[in-house]
Structure 1
Amino acid sequence: MRTSSLAEPGVPGPDSDPDGDSPQAGPARRRPGRPTLSNEQLLDKALDLFLEKGFDGTSIDAITAAAGMAKRTVYARYGDKTTLFKAALGRAIEEWIVPIDRLRAEETDDFEQTLLRIGAILVANVLSPAGLRLLRLTNAESVRMPEISIANVQLGTGPTLAYLADLFRRRLGGPDGVMADADEAATAFLNIVVGGQASNAAWGMPMDPQATDRHIRYSVRILLHGLLDREAVERGADDQRLRRLLDETMVQLDEARARLTQAARLARE
């Protein structure tokens, strides 16, 4: 299992523990035979409490009680509650995000079908119980800890956007794979197809599976055909410029013929 990049075990955070808890001096007291949880198990226990009660409502005492672990051990690993919170959240994000290989495996020759499949996976992931709990928790705490949102983008949104931009370049770019607004298209896909559903669910709106499926299909169709129509409009603009150039050239040729005719007449005289 991976250790979260939001915090390193054993490194105290910059904030003091909001609970007023502090490491206990002297040797740690443990009941004989009590097992020591792995670091991943501790983070999972902590996250459950943070998700249930929020950051302020969760104490180190509650975490150690749920984990069956001495407070001294928790402090030795993380130093304070803030650092433990970031580590637990980072681990949860890493476990929750959709691997790019899974998205890539959904690609087909039909580009619209590809986008529908990818959209369905991303929407289902964000609407899952784990996704909604993480979304609500990060939204609640990101104002106080903006680094949470930054980490979320770095771990999940950033790689997904990069993959989508590459997908648009490969499917809609020219022969050399160039598509100037591929990054904007990727962002629009996440915002239109996934973001609206995530926001509605985070605010507690009931999500009907059939309505969600219709939303995905409608949004993909609008986005894809909007991009294709944009290319048609650009081609149309190029055609108009070409016609104007041809018209100007014909006028210039007519003028040149008139001058040649006049010069020939003058030469005969």
Structure 2
Amino acid sequence: MRTVKRRPGRPSLSNEELLDKALDLFLEKGFAGTSIDAICTAAGMAKRTVYSRYGDKETLFKAALSRAIDEWIVPIDRLREQESEDFEASLIRIGEILVTNVLGPAGLRLLRLTNSESVTMPEISLENVRRGTEPTLQYLADLFRRRLGDENGNFPDAEEAAQAFLSIVVGGPASNAAWGMNIDMASVERHTRYCVRLFLHGLLEESASPPENEAGQLRRLLRDAEDRLGEARGRIEEATRLVRD
């Protein structure tokens, strides 16, 4: 009996390679400008194979974005390894890791994709925050409780301090990078050291015992009044928006 040899087919890309190809196209042309046909061509994969894996373009996009988040996330254990007796030095090392990560290829790709598509798909920003930002904020808040809290580990401003740390140390470089600015490593280190010191010494002053002199008490009262006024304005704006809607 004669044996018929089958012609070898095209080698199938791994799922990770397919998602990487899709990510590159989504970044270059945007979600609306990228077709399944273009992704299949770039990946050298049959359309039926892509549809069998993901069903539609939006599902494929979200899976690709999930992979981008996986590549971007800094493991909390890596941040914890930077801790030492020198609190300021610890924060500088942690800050440099976070800034370098957001400015790396994976971070920039995720940042630009999220910024460009989150208006029409706000859930992708929420997923980014849930999986990437929230664990980092929780770690930082815990770190501040351990290092700045009282004997029971109480530090009421821990969550706000964690958010401020990310905003001051990481937010600036991330915003600049999103606008296409190139930042060299020397600038990253200089920025991180300056911002950590600015943040930390302000935080240490805030967590110190309230001043006993009259001028210090007055400054504290004014600061509290400003905070409450800001909260009141926010509630008024929210109420106004609800009435208009």
TM interval, shorter chain, is: 0.7 to 0.9
SS of the equivalent of 2:208 reads helix
Alpha-carbon distance, 1:183 to partner: 0.2
Alpha-carbon distance, 1:227 to partner: 1.1
2:97 pairs with 1:111: no
Q: 2:64 aligns with which of 66, 88, 97?
A: 88
Alpha-carbon distance, 1:233 to partner: 4.9
Q: Residue by residue, what CA displacement relative to the aligned partner does 1:14-72 show, whole Å, maximum 9, x if unpaired? A: xxxxxxxxxxxxxxxxx742222222222122112112222122111111111121111
Q: Residue by residue, what CA displacement relative to the aligned partner does 1:114-166 show, whole Å, maximum 9, x if unpaired? A: 00000000000011122112111110000010010000001100100000000
1:44 partner amino acid: D
1:33 partner amino acid: G
Partner of residue 55, structure 1: 31
Partner of residue 231, structure 1: 207
Aligned-residue Cα RMSD (Å) equals: 2.0
Partner of residue 35, structure 1: 11
Partner of residue 189, structure 1: 165
Deviates more, 1:99-108 or 1:47-56: 47-56
Partner of residue 140, structure 1: 116
Distance in 2, Cα, partners of 1:43 & 1:214: 36
Alpha-carbon distance, 1:209 to partner: 2.9
More helix by share: 2
Distance in 1, Cα, partners of 2:25 & 2:91: 36
Distance in 2, Cα, partners of 1:153 & 1:112: 26
1:102 partner amino acid: R
Alpha-carbon distance, 1:217 to partner: 1.1
Q: 1:211 aligns with which of 187, 191, 208?
A: 187
2:19 partner amino acid: L
Alpha-carbon distance, 1:87 to partner: 0.5
| TM-score of the aligned structures, taking structure 2 as reference length | 0.81
2:163 pairs with 1:163: no
Distance in 1, Cα, partners of 2:212 & 2:129: 38
Tell which structure's C-alpha radius of gyration is larger: 1
Distance in 1, Cα, partners of 2:193 & 2:159: 21
Q: Residue by residue, what CA displacement relative to the aligned partner does 1:1-20 show, whole Å, maximum 9, x if unpaired? A: xxxxxxxxxxxxxxxxxxxx
| TM-score of the aligned structures, taking structure 1 as reference length | 0.74
Change (3 A) 1:236 1:197: farther
Distance in 2, Cα, partners of 1:37 & 1:80: 18
Distance in 2, Cα, partners of 1:178 & 1:187: 17
Q: Percent identity?
A: 72
User: Aligned residues, how many?
Assistant: 211
Distance in 1, Cα, partners of 2:46 & 2:202: 59
Distance in 2, Cα, partners of 1:201 & 1:73: 36
Partner of residue 244, structure 1: none
Alpha-carbon distance, 1:210 to partner: 2.6
Q: For structure 2, which runs of at least 5 residues remain unmatched after alignment?
A: 1-6, 218-245
* Runs of 4+ that moved beyond 3 A: none
Deviates more, 1:195-204 or 1:226-235: 226-235
Partner of residue 19, structure 1: none
1:56 partner amino acid: A
Partner of residue 25, structure 1: none
Alpha-carbon distance, 1:108 to partner: 0.6
2:47 partner amino acid: K
Distance in 1, Cα, partners of 2:207 & 2:171: 25
Distance in 1, Cα, partners of 2:16 & 2:123: 21
Q: Residue by residue, what CA displacement relative to the aligned partner does 1:222-264 show, whole Å, maximum 9, x if unpaired? A: 1111111112352647xx99xxxxxxxxxxxxxxxxxxxxxxx
Distance in 1, Cα, partners of 2:23 & 2:207: 47
